Amino acid sequence: MTTTKKIKSALISVFSKEGLEPIVRKLHEQNVTIYSTGGTEEFINNLGIPVVPVEEVTSYPSILGGRVKTLHPKIFGGILNRQDNETDVQQMREFEIPQIDLVIVDLYPFEKTVASGANEPDIIEKIDIGGISLIRAAAKNFKDTVIVASVNEYAMLLELISSQNGETTLEQRRLLATKAFHVSSHYDTAIFNYFNTDESYFKTSIADGQILRYGENPHQKGFFFGEFDNMFTKLHGKELSYNNLLDVDAAVNLILEFKNNEPTFAILKHNNACGLATRKNIKDAYLAALSCDPTSAFGGVLIANSNIDLATAKEINSLFCEVVIAPEFDEEAVAILSEKKNRIILVQHAVELPQRQVRTCLNGLLVQDRNTITDSKENLKIVTNTSPTAQEIDDLLFASKICKNTKSNTIVFTKNSTLVASGTGQTSRVDALKQAIEKATTFGFDLKGAVMASDAFFPFPDCVEIAHNAGITAVIQPGGSIKDELSINFCNENKVAMVFTGTRHFKH
């Protein structure tokens, strides 16, 4: 039997009628018998096109307030019958079941209803039963039946039936079935997550995905699944790569810590801040951030918590950078920054980030709550005889925010609302500290009066001793070591202020 099938009959039952008219007209032009229900039937009638009500096939009216319309053997038999199976063919004749070659469904908008803040009864009514059953039945029987399960596939269907005179190939039907099962599984996942309160279950489904040029390296495939356009408006530049997206994610999380601060500018490289400063205006913030480590800034990702103006853009334009992000840009600033063909310019929108973080691990997944704790003045416990000054407290909290968003083990130095240097991703905290001191020295920073943040406690006093000798006058750390007193005693003996936060900020 040929694998090419001619569409002679169609069942159409959709929520959204957008884009449906040209399909219906094309089907009518090709003498396709159309079956339909409720609002869709009325829509087709209003086009002046003949339509057979499902009730005429089932001899049952739509009942229970429209909850039951298509759930009937004569409908599902017409969809699920195997045309090369003699028993199926015989039973189709015996029970006078009409053949249905094409099913078009658009489900009730469950996710949109939940997102709208509707009450539970309204949400429950938007759980589609008949539609989801039609999708699964037609997709299962893709060998004989065409399934279109979403408005998103209307254009594809119209192209197929127009260019092929109503015929479809097995490969095309299988592709549409794959898309249909994606629709149904995504829909069921959304419903499950609405009801689920058991944290031991994890289900996710992301409908929008894009193929990236490659992964971390050219020999690796890369994909992004998410709603990037909800978070950003891209004004200029090349397509974002896998590594760009990782850096953008790190940048967004970092600048979120400073969203209520005065103008703040951050420069990131390989997911870590290599420059960050807060000033009275964004230009000065950028120049101060750049001075921290202009070498690492080359090819970095730049992000601001406020509007980027023309003066700032002129300064940025002399630096080779991959991405520039801000909540706003002056038109003149965009024009300047766009002079570099590949430079990516993103306007960041205020979108809430997921409260769970997911990553692959071994043959499964690790899932954790987002680290939403930002250390504040109220959290600080002064554990030394010397108390930090008001300026030191500001700098300690500034350092803590950066430390939280830097790869462990990490040490961060700040001074006057500026990142001075950091040691990142080291296998020991002493190594991280020494790296930070070396970087500060390399770029001519005086550490006298600077403060230090650590993402975890000090098991020995060696770090505070090395830091003190370099000029550090105040330290912020979570505390919690059984040998905390050793570090505290050293600080007391040398008039260094130390505060505990009680919160560790590992970032592996």
- Which residues are annotated as catalytic? 140, 270
Q: Which two tokens stand for residue 293?
A: 């480590």
Yes or no: say if 149 and 135 are a contact pair by the CB < 8 Å rule.
Answer: yes
Question: For the chain, how big is the Rg over CA atoms in Å?
Answer: 31
- Dist CA 451 CA 195 (whole Å): 48
Q: Concatenated DSSP letters for 245-262? A: HHHHHHHHHHHHTTTTSS
Residue 365: phi and psi, rounded to 5, are -130, 150
User: What b/e sequence results for 216-249 when a residue is b if at least 16 CB atoms lie within 10 Å of its CB, and e otherwise?
Assistant: eeeeeebebeeeeeebbeeebbeebbbbbbbbbb
Spatial neighbors of 507 by CB under 8 A, at least 6 apart, are 371, 404, 405, 406, 407, 408, 410, 455
| Residue 96 DSSP one-character state | T
Yes or no: say if 451 and 422 are a contact pair by the CB < 8 Å rule.
Answer: no
Q: Is the dihedral of CA 91, 97, 98, 100 positive or negative?
A: negative
Compute CA distances 176 → 76, 149, 169, whole Å: 18, 8, 11
CA angle 412, 413, 416 (to 5 degrees): 135
Q: Which two tokens stand for residue 72?
A: 């009937």
The 3-state DSSP class for residue 93 equals: helix
Residue recorded with tokens 């490289």: 269
Total length of the chain: 508
| Residue 447 DSSP one-character state | -
| Residue 507 DSSP one-character state | -
Q: Concatenated DSSP letters for 126-195? A: TS-SHHHHHHHHHHHTTTT-EEE-SGGGHHHHHHHHHHTTTEE-HHHHHHHHHHHHHHHHHHHHHHHHHH
- Measured torsion, CA atoms of residues 391, 420, 480, 393, in degrees rounded to the nearest 10: 10
The 3-state DSSP class for residue 90 equals: helix
- Give the relative orientation of helices 86-94 and 73-80 as an angle to the nearest 10 degrees: 150
